[in-house]
Structure 1
Amino acid sequence: MARFALGVEYDGGDFLGWQRLSKPGVAGDETVQQALETALSFVANTQIDTICAGRTDAGVHAACQVVHFETDVQRDPRGWVLGATSRLPPSVSVRWCVPVADDFHARFSAVARRYRYRILNRAVRPALGRQYVTWERLPLDVAAMHAAAQALVGEHDFSAFRTVHCQAPHARRDLQSITVERSADEVWIDVRANAFLHHMVRNIVGSLIPVGRGEQPPAWVAELLAGRDRNVAGPTAPPTGLCFLGPVYPGLFGLPDEVSA
Protein backbone atom coordinates (compact mmCIF):
# COMPACT_ATOMS: atom_id res chain seq x y z
CA MET A 1 0.00 0.00 0.00
CA ALA A 2 1.26 3.46 -0.92
CA ARG A 3 0.31 6.57 1.05
CA PHE A 4 -0.27 9.96 -0.59
CA ALA A 5 -0.91 13.46 0.76
CA LEU A 6 -3.05 15.89 -1.21
CA GLY A 7 -3.45 19.67 -0.99
CA VAL A 8 -7.09 20.52 -1.67
CA GLU A 9 -8.64 23.94 -2.32
CA TYR A 10 -12.38 24.51 -2.09
CA ASP A 11 -15.17 27.05 -1.93
CA GLY A 12 -17.30 25.77 0.93
CA GLY A 13 -20.43 27.67 -0.04
CA ASP A 14 -21.93 24.75 -1.96
CA PHE A 15 -21.22 22.13 0.70
CA LEU A 16 -22.51 21.00 4.09
CA GLY A 17 -18.96 21.08 5.42
CA TRP A 18 -16.01 18.74 5.03
CA GLN A 19 -17.12 15.55 6.73
CA ARG A 20 -18.87 12.84 4.74
CA LEU A 21 -22.36 12.27 6.13
CA SER A 22 -23.04 8.88 4.57
CA LYS A 23 -21.11 5.61 4.38
CA PRO A 24 -18.22 5.36 1.88
CA GLY A 25 -19.44 4.59 -1.61
CA VAL A 26 -23.05 5.54 -0.79
CA ALA A 27 -24.65 8.65 -2.26
CA GLY A 28 -25.67 11.25 0.31
CA ASP A 29 -25.74 14.94 1.11
CA GLU A 30 -22.93 16.75 -0.64
CA THR A 31 -19.84 17.38 1.44
CA VAL A 32 -16.30 18.13 0.33
CA GLN A 33 -15.08 14.74 1.54
CA GLN A 34 -17.85 12.96 -0.37
CA ALA A 35 -16.98 14.84 -3.58
CA LEU A 36 -13.25 14.24 -3.21
CA GLU A 37 -13.57 10.53 -2.42
CA THR A 38 -15.94 10.03 -5.34
CA ALA A 39 -13.39 11.64 -7.69
CA LEU A 40 -10.41 9.72 -6.28
CA SER A 41 -12.36 6.45 -6.40
CA PHE A 42 -13.11 7.06 -10.09
CA VAL A 43 -9.39 7.53 -10.80
CA ALA A 44 -8.49 4.41 -8.79
CA ASN A 45 -11.45 2.37 -10.02
CA THR A 46 -11.91 1.30 -6.38
CA GLN A 47 -13.08 2.95 -3.17
CA ILE A 48 -10.67 5.53 -1.73
CA ASP A 49 -11.16 6.85 1.81
CA THR A 50 -9.50 10.03 3.02
CA ILE A 51 -8.45 11.56 6.34
CA CYS A 52 -8.12 15.35 6.61
CA ALA A 53 -6.04 17.73 8.72
CA GLY A 54 -9.08 19.49 10.14
CA ARG A 55 -12.80 19.40 9.41
CA THR A 56 -14.45 22.62 8.23
CA ASP A 57 -18.07 23.63 8.79
CA ALA A 58 -20.73 24.32 6.18
CA GLY A 59 -19.87 27.43 4.18
CA VAL A 60 -16.23 27.59 5.30
CA HIS A 61 -13.55 27.66 2.59
CA ALA A 62 -10.06 26.15 2.40
CA ALA A 63 -6.94 27.40 0.64
CA CYS A 64 -5.00 24.21 1.37
CA GLN A 65 -6.77 21.44 3.19
CA VAL A 66 -4.42 18.46 3.52
CA VAL A 67 -5.66 14.89 3.31
CA HIS A 68 -4.00 11.51 3.07
CA PHE A 69 -5.13 8.18 1.67
CA GLU A 70 -3.72 4.72 1.09
CA THR A 71 -4.05 2.58 -2.01
CA ASP A 72 -2.40 -0.28 -3.85
CA VAL A 73 -3.50 1.24 -7.17
CA GLN A 74 -0.53 2.54 -9.16
CA ARG A 75 -0.93 6.14 -10.34
CA ASP A 76 1.72 8.84 -10.41
CA PRO A 77 1.10 12.05 -8.41
CA ARG A 78 0.23 14.02 -11.55
CA GLY A 79 -2.38 11.41 -12.44
CA TRP A 80 -4.06 11.75 -9.04
CA VAL A 81 -4.08 15.56 -9.30
CA LEU A 82 -5.40 15.88 -12.84
CA GLY A 83 -7.64 12.84 -12.75
CA ALA A 84 -9.37 13.76 -9.49
CA THR A 85 -9.73 17.44 -10.36
CA SER A 86 -11.35 16.55 -13.70
CA ARG A 87 -14.10 14.72 -11.76
CA LEU A 88 -14.61 17.39 -9.10
CA PRO A 89 -17.11 20.27 -9.23
CA PRO A 90 -15.66 23.69 -10.17
CA SER A 91 -15.60 24.70 -6.50
CA VAL A 92 -12.99 22.05 -5.58
CA SER A 93 -9.54 21.31 -6.96
CA VAL A 94 -6.60 19.12 -5.98
CA ARG A 95 -3.56 21.40 -6.07
CA TRP A 96 -0.79 18.89 -5.40
CA CYS A 97 -0.07 15.28 -4.54
CA VAL A 98 3.02 14.01 -2.69
CA PRO A 99 3.97 10.41 -1.79
CA VAL A 100 4.53 10.25 1.98
CA ALA A 101 5.95 7.79 4.50
CA ASP A 102 3.70 5.33 6.28
CA ASP A 103 3.98 7.29 9.52
CA PHE A 104 2.51 10.47 8.02
CA HIS A 105 -1.01 11.26 9.20
CA ALA A 106 -2.87 14.32 7.92
CA ARG A 107 -4.44 14.98 11.31
CA PHE A 108 -2.02 13.68 13.93
CA SER A 109 1.23 14.75 12.23
CA ALA A 110 0.16 18.41 12.08
CA VAL A 111 1.81 20.70 14.62
CA ALA A 112 -0.49 23.66 13.89
CA ARG A 113 -3.51 24.80 11.91
CA ARG A 114 -4.12 28.27 10.48
CA TYR A 115 -7.28 30.23 9.67
CA ARG A 116 -7.99 33.67 8.25
CA TYR A 117 -11.24 35.55 8.78
CA ARG A 118 -11.97 38.42 6.35
CA ILE A 119 -14.30 41.28 7.17
CA LEU A 120 -15.25 43.87 4.55
CA ASN A 121 -15.47 47.02 6.67
CA ARG A 122 -17.23 49.74 4.70
CA ALA A 123 -20.60 51.49 4.59
CA VAL A 124 -21.87 49.67 1.48
CA ARG A 125 -22.41 45.94 1.15
CA PRO A 126 -20.20 44.01 -1.32
CA ALA A 127 -21.26 42.92 -4.79
CA LEU A 128 -18.04 41.20 -5.89
CA GLY A 129 -16.45 38.47 -3.78
CA ARG A 130 -19.27 38.62 -1.25
CA GLN A 131 -19.09 34.84 -0.69
CA TYR A 132 -15.59 35.20 0.80
CA VAL A 133 -16.09 38.04 3.28
CA THR A 134 -18.38 39.09 6.11
CA TRP A 135 -19.70 42.63 5.78
CA GLU A 136 -19.54 45.04 8.72
CA ARG A 137 -20.82 48.54 7.95
CA LEU A 138 -19.76 50.22 11.22
CA PRO A 139 -16.11 51.34 11.47
CA LEU A 140 -13.87 48.88 13.32
CA ASP A 141 -10.97 49.88 15.56
CA VAL A 142 -8.39 47.34 14.41
CA ALA A 143 -5.83 48.33 17.05
CA ALA A 144 -8.34 47.70 19.84
CA MET A 145 -9.32 44.34 18.35
CA HIS A 146 -5.68 43.27 18.04
CA ALA A 147 -4.91 44.32 21.61
CA ALA A 148 -7.95 42.44 22.92
CA ALA A 149 -7.04 39.30 20.99
CA GLN A 150 -3.60 39.00 22.59
CA ALA A 151 -5.23 37.79 25.83
CA LEU A 152 -6.08 34.58 23.95
CA VAL A 153 -2.48 33.68 23.09
CA GLY A 154 -1.17 30.66 24.98
CA GLU A 155 -2.68 27.45 26.31
CA HIS A 156 -6.10 28.12 27.80
CA ASP A 157 -9.54 26.65 28.36
CA PHE A 158 -11.54 28.09 25.45
CA SER A 159 -14.98 27.04 26.72
CA ALA A 160 -16.28 30.58 26.14
CA PHE A 161 -15.56 30.18 22.43
CA ARG A 162 -16.80 26.64 21.71
CA THR A 163 -20.25 25.71 20.48
CA VAL A 164 -22.50 23.67 22.74
CA HIS A 165 -22.40 21.00 20.02
CA CYS A 166 -18.60 20.65 20.20
CA GLN A 167 -17.63 17.00 20.69
CA ALA A 168 -14.03 17.59 21.82
CA PRO A 169 -13.30 15.87 25.15
CA HIS A 170 -11.86 19.09 26.61
CA ALA A 171 -11.60 22.77 25.72
CA ARG A 172 -7.87 23.35 26.28
CA ARG A 173 -6.05 24.53 23.17
CA ASP A 174 -2.71 26.22 22.52
CA LEU A 175 -3.42 29.36 20.52
CA GLN A 176 0.02 30.19 19.13
CA SER A 177 -0.72 33.55 17.50
CA ILE A 178 -3.56 35.87 16.53
CA THR A 179 -3.28 39.12 14.59
CA VAL A 180 -5.84 41.68 13.50
CA GLU A 181 -4.83 44.04 10.72
CA ARG A 182 -6.40 46.19 8.05
CA SER A 183 -5.79 46.04 4.29
CA ALA A 184 -7.73 48.88 2.65
CA ASP A 185 -11.42 48.15 3.34
CA GLU A 186 -10.74 44.66 4.68
CA VAL A 187 -9.93 43.56 8.21
CA TRP A 188 -8.03 40.26 8.43
CA ILE A 189 -7.96 38.13 11.56
CA ASP A 190 -5.27 35.45 11.30
CA VAL A 191 -5.24 32.69 13.92
CA ARG A 192 -2.80 29.82 14.44
CA ALA A 193 -3.23 27.08 17.05
CA ASN A 194 -2.31 23.48 17.65
CA ALA A 195 -5.99 22.61 17.11
CA PHE A 196 -9.39 24.30 17.18
CA LEU A 197 -12.73 23.66 18.83
CA HIS A 198 -16.01 23.62 16.90
CA HIS A 199 -16.80 27.24 15.86
CA MET A 200 -13.84 28.50 17.91
CA VAL A 201 -12.52 30.98 15.34
CA ARG A 202 -15.98 32.28 14.42
CA ASN A 203 -16.85 32.75 18.10
CA ILE A 204 -13.60 34.61 18.73
CA VAL A 205 -14.33 36.89 15.77
CA GLY A 206 -17.87 37.41 17.04
CA SER A 207 -16.43 38.65 20.33
CA LEU A 208 -13.77 40.86 18.73
CA ILE A 209 -16.24 42.75 16.53
CA PRO A 210 -18.04 44.42 19.51
CA VAL A 211 -14.61 45.58 20.69
CA GLY A 212 -13.91 47.00 17.25
CA ARG A 213 -17.23 48.86 17.26
CA GLY A 214 -16.44 50.36 20.67
CA GLU A 215 -19.30 48.51 22.35
CA GLN A 216 -16.93 46.61 24.65
CA PRO A 217 -13.47 47.45 26.03
CA PRO A 218 -10.46 45.36 24.93
CA ALA A 219 -10.28 43.82 28.43
CA TRP A 220 -13.68 42.20 27.82
CA VAL A 221 -12.16 39.39 25.73
CA ALA A 222 -9.83 38.41 28.61
CA GLU A 223 -12.85 38.40 30.93
CA LEU A 224 -14.73 36.09 28.57
CA LEU A 225 -11.80 33.70 28.42
CA ALA A 226 -11.50 33.57 32.19
CA GLY A 227 -15.27 33.21 32.68
CA ARG A 228 -15.53 30.17 30.33
CA ASP A 229 -19.20 30.97 29.69
CA ARG A 230 -20.30 30.76 26.07
CA ASN A 231 -23.61 32.44 26.92
CA VAL A 232 -22.02 35.83 27.64
CA ALA A 233 -19.54 35.90 24.75
CA GLY A 234 -20.24 37.43 21.34
CA PRO A 235 -22.34 35.76 18.62
CA THR A 236 -20.95 33.24 16.15
CA ALA A 237 -19.64 35.13 13.12
CA PRO A 238 -20.94 33.97 9.70
CA PRO A 239 -18.99 31.20 7.93
CA THR A 240 -18.50 33.12 4.68
CA GLY A 241 -15.51 35.11 5.93
CA LEU A 242 -13.60 32.09 7.22
CA CYS A 243 -10.91 30.27 5.25
CA PHE A 244 -8.76 27.38 6.45
CA LEU A 245 -5.30 28.42 5.25
CA GLY A 246 -3.89 24.99 5.99
CA PRO A 247 -2.06 22.89 8.57
CA VAL A 248 1.66 22.93 9.35
CA TYR A 249 3.86 19.80 9.41
CA PRO A 250 7.49 19.12 10.33
CA GLY A 251 9.77 19.50 7.32
CA LEU A 252 10.86 15.87 7.49
CA PHE A 253 7.68 14.79 5.68
CA GLY A 254 8.75 16.61 2.50
CA LEU A 255 5.48 18.44 1.86
CA PRO A 256 5.27 21.76 -0.04
CA ASP A 257 6.61 24.82 1.75
CA GLU A 258 3.16 26.30 2.34
CA VAL A 259 2.37 23.51 4.84
CA SER A 260 5.86 22.82 6.21
CA ALA A 261 7.38 24.32 9.33
Structure 2
Amino acid sequence: MRNLLMKVNYDGTRYDGFQTQPQGNTIQDHLEHAILHLTGEALKITGSGRTDAGVHAYGQPFNFLTASKIPLERWCLALNARLPQDIVVTEAREVSLDFHSRRGAKRKTYRYTISGNRFPDPFQRRWQYHHPVKLDIPAMQQGLAHIIGTHDFTSFASRKSTKTSHVRTIFEAHMEIDHSMCRNGTADQGVIHTYITGSGFLQHMVRIIMGTLIHVGEGKIRAEAVADILAACDRAAAGPTAVAQGLALWSVEYDEAGL
Protein backbone atom coordinates (compact mmCIF):
# COMPACT_ATOMS: atom_id res chain seq x y z
CA MET A 1 0.00 0.00 0.00
CA ARG A 2 1.06 3.57 -0.64
CA ASN A 3 -0.06 6.72 1.15
CA LEU A 4 -0.43 9.50 -1.41
CA LEU A 5 -0.63 13.16 -0.48
CA MET A 6 -2.17 15.48 -3.06
CA LYS A 7 -3.22 19.09 -3.33
CA VAL A 8 -6.35 20.34 -5.02
CA ASN A 9 -7.50 23.77 -6.19
CA TYR A 10 -11.21 24.38 -6.55
CA ASP A 11 -13.81 27.01 -7.20
CA GLY A 12 -16.36 26.10 -4.55
CA THR A 13 -19.23 28.11 -6.02
CA ARG A 14 -21.39 25.17 -7.07
CA TYR A 15 -20.32 22.68 -4.41
CA ASP A 16 -21.50 21.87 -0.89
CA GLY A 17 -18.05 22.20 0.68
CA PHE A 18 -15.17 19.76 0.81
CA GLN A 19 -16.46 16.99 3.06
CA THR A 20 -18.90 14.34 1.85
CA GLN A 21 -22.59 15.21 2.25
CA PRO A 22 -25.69 13.06 1.61
CA GLN A 23 -26.49 14.89 -1.62
CA GLY A 24 -23.11 13.88 -3.05
CA ASN A 25 -22.06 17.25 -4.46
CA THR A 26 -18.82 17.92 -2.60
CA ILE A 27 -15.17 18.15 -3.56
CA GLN A 28 -14.46 14.91 -1.68
CA ASP A 29 -17.22 13.10 -3.57
CA HIS A 30 -15.85 14.16 -6.95
CA LEU A 31 -12.26 13.26 -6.02
CA GLU A 32 -13.25 9.82 -4.76
CA HIS A 33 -15.35 9.22 -7.87
CA ALA A 34 -12.38 10.16 -10.08
CA ILE A 35 -10.07 7.81 -8.16
CA LEU A 36 -12.62 5.00 -8.50
CA HIS A 37 -12.73 5.49 -12.27
CA LEU A 38 -8.95 5.61 -12.47
CA THR A 39 -7.96 2.69 -10.21
CA GLY A 40 -11.17 0.77 -9.49
CA GLU A 41 -10.71 1.45 -5.76
CA ALA A 42 -13.72 2.62 -3.76
CA LEU A 43 -11.80 4.43 -1.06
CA LYS A 44 -12.17 7.39 1.29
CA ILE A 45 -9.79 10.31 1.15
CA THR A 46 -8.78 12.38 4.18
CA GLY A 47 -8.87 16.14 3.72
CA SER A 48 -6.85 18.67 5.70
CA GLY A 49 -10.15 20.09 6.93
CA ARG A 50 -13.63 21.10 5.93
CA THR A 51 -14.72 24.08 3.89
CA ASP A 52 -18.25 25.50 3.81
CA ALA A 53 -20.48 25.41 0.77
CA GLY A 54 -19.34 28.05 -1.69
CA VAL A 55 -15.84 28.41 -0.20
CA HIS A 56 -12.80 27.99 -2.45
CA ALA A 57 -9.30 26.55 -1.95
CA TYR A 58 -5.78 26.92 -3.30
CA GLY A 59 -3.81 23.72 -2.79
CA GLN A 60 -5.95 21.99 -0.16
CA PRO A 61 -4.12 18.82 0.93
CA PHE A 62 -5.74 15.40 1.06
CA ASN A 63 -4.31 11.91 1.38
CA PHE A 64 -5.41 8.31 0.85
CA LEU A 65 -4.09 4.77 0.88
CA THR A 66 -3.93 3.01 -2.48
CA ALA A 67 -2.70 -0.29 -3.87
CA SER A 68 -2.36 1.28 -7.31
CA LYS A 69 1.07 1.26 -8.91
CA ILE A 70 0.36 4.28 -11.13
CA PRO A 71 3.54 6.44 -11.20
CA LEU A 72 3.33 9.66 -9.21
CA GLU A 73 3.90 11.83 -12.25
CA ARG A 74 0.74 10.49 -13.92
CA TRP A 75 -1.74 10.97 -11.10
CA CYS A 76 -2.56 14.67 -11.52
CA LEU A 77 -3.24 14.55 -15.25
CA ALA A 78 -5.17 11.30 -14.94
CA LEU A 79 -7.44 12.60 -12.17
CA ASN A 80 -7.97 16.00 -13.81
CA ALA A 81 -9.19 14.24 -16.94
CA ARG A 82 -11.94 12.72 -14.76
CA LEU A 83 -12.80 15.82 -12.71
CA PRO A 84 -14.97 18.87 -13.46
CA GLN A 85 -12.98 21.83 -14.80
CA ASP A 86 -13.39 23.80 -11.55
CA ILE A 87 -11.58 21.10 -9.53
CA VAL A 88 -7.87 20.66 -10.36
CA VAL A 89 -5.33 18.40 -8.64
CA THR A 90 -1.95 20.15 -8.73
CA GLU A 91 0.48 17.95 -6.75
CA ALA A 92 1.01 14.30 -5.85
CA ARG A 93 3.66 12.77 -3.64
CA GLU A 94 4.16 9.64 -1.59
CA VAL A 95 4.34 10.09 2.19
CA SER A 96 4.77 7.81 5.20
CA LEU A 97 1.91 5.44 5.94
CA ASP A 98 1.15 7.22 9.21
CA PHE A 99 0.79 10.67 7.62
CA HIS A 100 -2.67 12.18 8.18
CA SER A 101 -3.47 15.40 6.38
CA ARG A 102 -5.93 16.65 9.00
CA ARG A 103 -4.25 15.62 12.25
CA GLY A 104 -0.80 16.60 10.97
CA ALA A 105 -1.75 20.16 9.95
CA LYS A 106 0.00 22.76 12.13
CA ARG A 107 -0.92 26.05 10.48
CA LYS A 108 -3.78 26.99 8.18
CA THR A 109 -4.23 30.27 6.36
CA TYR A 110 -7.49 31.59 5.00
CA ARG A 111 -7.92 34.60 2.74
CA TYR A 112 -11.08 36.68 2.60
CA THR A 113 -11.50 39.06 -0.33
CA ILE A 114 -13.66 42.18 -0.43
CA SER A 115 -14.01 44.35 -3.51
CA GLY A 116 -14.27 47.92 -2.27
CA ASN A 117 -14.65 49.34 -5.76
CA ARG A 118 -17.83 51.03 -6.90
CA PHE A 119 -18.60 48.35 -9.48
CA PRO A 120 -18.09 44.59 -9.17
CA ASP A 121 -15.50 42.83 -11.30
CA PRO A 122 -17.44 40.35 -13.47
CA PHE A 123 -14.34 38.18 -13.84
CA GLN A 124 -13.80 37.87 -10.07
CA ARG A 125 -17.40 37.98 -8.86
CA ARG A 126 -17.32 34.38 -7.63
CA TRP A 127 -14.23 35.03 -5.49
CA GLN A 128 -15.05 38.41 -3.95
CA TYR A 129 -17.64 39.97 -1.69
CA HIS A 130 -18.58 43.27 -3.34
CA HIS A 131 -18.97 46.18 -0.90
CA PRO A 132 -19.34 49.43 -2.90
CA VAL A 133 -19.92 51.64 0.17
CA LYS A 134 -16.82 53.21 1.76
CA LEU A 135 -15.09 51.17 4.45
CA ASP A 136 -12.79 52.49 7.18
CA ILE A 137 -9.94 50.12 6.36
CA PRO A 138 -7.52 51.39 9.09
CA ALA A 139 -10.23 50.73 11.68
CA MET A 140 -10.73 47.23 10.29
CA GLN A 141 -6.99 46.62 10.57
CA GLN A 142 -7.06 47.77 14.19
CA GLY A 143 -9.96 45.45 14.93
CA LEU A 144 -8.22 42.54 13.21
CA ALA A 145 -5.19 42.90 15.49
CA HIS A 146 -7.32 41.98 18.52
CA ILE A 147 -7.85 38.39 17.35
CA ILE A 148 -4.13 37.55 17.28
CA GLY A 149 -3.11 35.22 20.10
CA THR A 150 -4.77 32.35 21.95
CA HIS A 151 -8.41 33.01 22.77
CA ASP A 152 -11.76 31.36 23.31
CA PHE A 153 -13.43 32.09 19.97
CA THR A 154 -16.98 31.13 21.00
CA SER A 155 -18.19 34.57 19.89
CA PHE A 156 -16.84 33.84 16.41
CA ALA A 157 -18.10 30.26 16.10
CA SER A 158 -21.31 28.98 14.61
CA ARG A 159 -24.00 28.21 17.16
CA LYS A 160 -24.05 24.74 15.59
CA SER A 161 -20.41 24.08 16.55
CA THR A 162 -19.97 20.70 18.22
CA LYS A 163 -16.35 21.22 19.30
CA THR A 164 -15.70 20.62 23.01
CA SER A 165 -13.26 23.54 23.11
CA HIS A 166 -13.41 26.81 21.21
CA VAL A 167 -9.89 27.84 22.17
CA ARG A 168 -7.75 28.47 19.11
CA THR A 169 -4.49 30.31 18.38
CA ILE A 170 -4.20 32.93 15.65
CA PHE A 171 -0.53 33.36 14.72
CA GLU A 172 -0.85 36.12 12.12
CA ALA A 173 -3.54 38.34 10.63
CA HIS A 174 -3.12 41.18 8.17
CA MET A 175 -4.73 43.00 5.26
CA GLU A 176 -3.34 43.76 1.81
CA ILE A 177 -4.97 46.30 -0.51
CA ASP A 178 -4.74 45.88 -4.29
CA HIS A 179 -5.39 49.20 -6.06
CA SER A 180 -4.64 47.93 -9.55
CA MET A 181 -8.30 47.87 -10.61
CA CYS A 182 -9.22 51.29 -9.15
CA ARG A 183 -10.39 53.95 -11.61
CA ASN A 184 -8.63 57.30 -11.43
CA GLY A 185 -10.62 60.10 -9.83
CA THR A 186 -13.20 57.80 -8.25
CA ALA A 187 -14.00 56.57 -4.74
CA ASP A 188 -12.79 53.05 -5.57
CA GLN A 189 -11.03 51.56 -2.53
CA GLY A 190 -9.44 48.58 -4.22
CA VAL A 191 -9.58 44.88 -3.48
CA ILE A 192 -9.06 44.13 0.21
CA HIS A 193 -7.47 40.77 1.01
CA THR A 194 -7.49 39.65 4.66
CA TYR A 195 -5.14 36.79 5.58
CA ILE A 196 -5.65 34.91 8.85
CA THR A 197 -3.26 32.13 9.93
CA GLY A 198 -4.07 29.91 12.88
CA SER A 199 -3.63 26.53 14.53
CA GLY A 200 -7.16 25.62 13.48
CA PHE A 201 -10.54 27.18 12.85
CA LEU A 202 -14.10 26.66 14.06
CA GLN A 203 -17.15 26.40 11.85
CA HIS A 204 -17.79 29.80 10.20
CA MET A 205 -15.04 31.37 12.34
CA VAL A 206 -13.29 33.36 9.62
CA ARG A 207 -16.57 34.45 8.05
CA ILE A 208 -17.91 35.71 11.40
CA ILE A 209 -14.64 37.55 12.07
CA MET A 210 -14.97 39.17 8.66
CA GLY A 211 -18.63 40.03 9.15
CA THR A 212 -17.65 41.74 12.40
CA LEU A 213 -14.78 43.62 10.75
CA ILE A 214 -17.10 44.80 7.99
CA HIS A 215 -19.32 46.30 10.70
CA VAL A 216 -16.22 48.01 12.07
CA GLY A 217 -15.47 49.35 8.60
CA GLU A 218 -19.04 50.62 8.27
CA GLY A 219 -18.75 52.45 11.60
CA LYS A 220 -21.38 50.29 13.29
CA ILE A 221 -18.98 49.16 16.03
CA ARG A 222 -15.64 50.47 17.27
CA ALA A 223 -12.40 48.66 16.44
CA GLU A 224 -11.67 48.31 20.17
CA ALA A 225 -14.98 46.48 20.61
CA VAL A 226 -13.53 43.38 18.90
CA ALA A 227 -11.63 42.61 22.12
CA ASP A 228 -14.87 42.92 24.11
CA ILE A 229 -16.67 40.66 21.64
CA LEU A 230 -13.97 38.02 22.08
CA ALA A 231 -14.22 38.23 25.87
CA ALA A 232 -18.01 37.89 25.80
CA CYS A 233 -17.84 34.28 24.51
CA ASP A 234 -21.28 34.85 23.02
CA ARG A 235 -22.12 34.48 19.32
CA ALA A 236 -24.78 37.18 19.68
CA ALA A 237 -22.08 39.73 20.51
CA ALA A 238 -20.35 39.42 17.13
CA GLY A 239 -21.36 40.62 13.69
CA PRO A 240 -23.04 38.62 10.91
CA THR A 241 -21.51 35.73 9.02
CA ALA A 242 -19.89 37.13 5.87
CA VAL A 243 -20.87 35.52 2.58
CA ALA A 244 -18.99 32.36 1.60
CA GLN A 245 -17.87 33.46 -1.86
CA GLY A 246 -15.14 35.77 -0.52
CA LEU A 247 -13.40 33.02 1.46
CA ALA A 248 -10.64 30.71 0.27
CA LEU A 249 -8.42 28.23 2.07
CA TRP A 250 -5.04 29.68 1.14
CA SER A 251 -2.45 27.25 2.54
CA VAL A 252 -1.88 24.40 5.00
CA GLU A 253 1.49 23.76 6.62
CA TYR A 254 3.00 20.66 8.25
CA ASP A 255 6.05 19.93 10.38
CA GLU A 256 7.30 17.25 8.02
CA ALA A 257 10.26 18.39 5.92
CA GLY A 258 9.22 19.62 2.50
CA LEU A 259 5.47 19.65 3.18
1:127-142 matches, cutoff 5 A: 127-142=122-137
The alpha-carbon deviation at position 251 of structure 1 amounts to 4.1
Does residue 17 (structure 1) correspond to residue 53 (structure 2)? The answer is no
TM-score by length of 1: 0.92
Q: What is residue 178 of structure 1 aligned with on the other side? A: 173
Q: What is residue 29 of structure 2 aligned with on the other side? A: 34
Q: Distance in 2 between matches of 1:165 and 1:126?
A: 34
Q: What is residue 237 of structure 1 aligned with on the other side? A: 242
The alpha-carbon deviation at position 58 of structure 1 amounts to 0.2
**Superimposed CA distance per residue, residues 166-216 of structure 1 (whole angstroms, 9 cap, x where no aligned partner):** 122211001111112311110111000000000000000000011112222
**Superimposed CA distance per residue, residues 14-53 of structure 1 (whole angstroms, 9 cap, x where no aligned partner):** 101111124xxxxx43111000010012111121210011
TM-score by length of 2: 0.93
Q: What is residue 194 of structure 1 aligned with on the other side? A: 199
Does residue 49 (structure 1) correspond to residue 54 (structure 2)? The answer is no
1:151 to 141, 146, 152: 146
Q: What is residue 258 of structure 1 aligned with on the other side? A: none
Does residue 217 (structure 1) correspond to residue 258 (structure 2)? The answer is no
Paired residues of 1:43 and 1:80 also in contact (CA < 8 A): no
Identify the range of structure 1 (126-135 vs 86-95) with the bigger mean alpha-carbon deviation. 126-135
Of Structure 1 and Structure 2, the greater helix share is in 1
Q: What is residue 102 of structure 2 aligned with on the other side? A: 107
Supply the AA of the counterpart residue of 2:9.
E
Does residue 207 (structure 1) correspond to residue 202 (structure 2)? The answer is no
The alpha-carbon deviation at position 116 of structure 1 amounts to 0.2
The number of residue pairs the alignment matches comes to 249
Extract unaligned runs of 5+ from structure 1. 23-27, 256-261
Q: Distance in 1 between matches of 2:119 and 2:136?
A: 18
Supply the AA of the counterpart residue of 1:87.
R
Paired residues of 1:40 and 1:80 also in contact (CA < 8 A): no
Provide the aligned C-alpha RMSD in A.
Answer: 1.1
Q: Distance in 1 between matches of 2:14 and 2:218?
A: 31
Query: 3-state SS of the aligned residue for 1:226?
Result: helix
Query: 3-state SS of the aligned residue for 2:135?
Result: coil
**Superimposed CA distance per residue, residues 131-181 of structure 1 (whole angstroms, 9 cap, x where no aligned partner):** 000011111222211111111111100000000111222110011111123
Q: What is residue 5 of structure 2 aligned with on the other side? A: 5
**Superimposed CA distance per residue, residues 101-153 of structure 1 (whole angstroms, 9 cap, x where no aligned partner):** 12211011111111000000022233221000001111122221111111111
Identify the range of structure 1 (29-38 vs 242-251) with the bigger mean alpha-carbon deviation. 242-251
Supply the AA of the counterpart residue of 2:37.
F
Paired residues of 1:143 and 1:180 also in contact (CA < 8 A): no
Query: 3-state SS of the aligned residue for 1:156?
Result: strand
Extract unaligned runs of 5+ from structure 2. 180-189
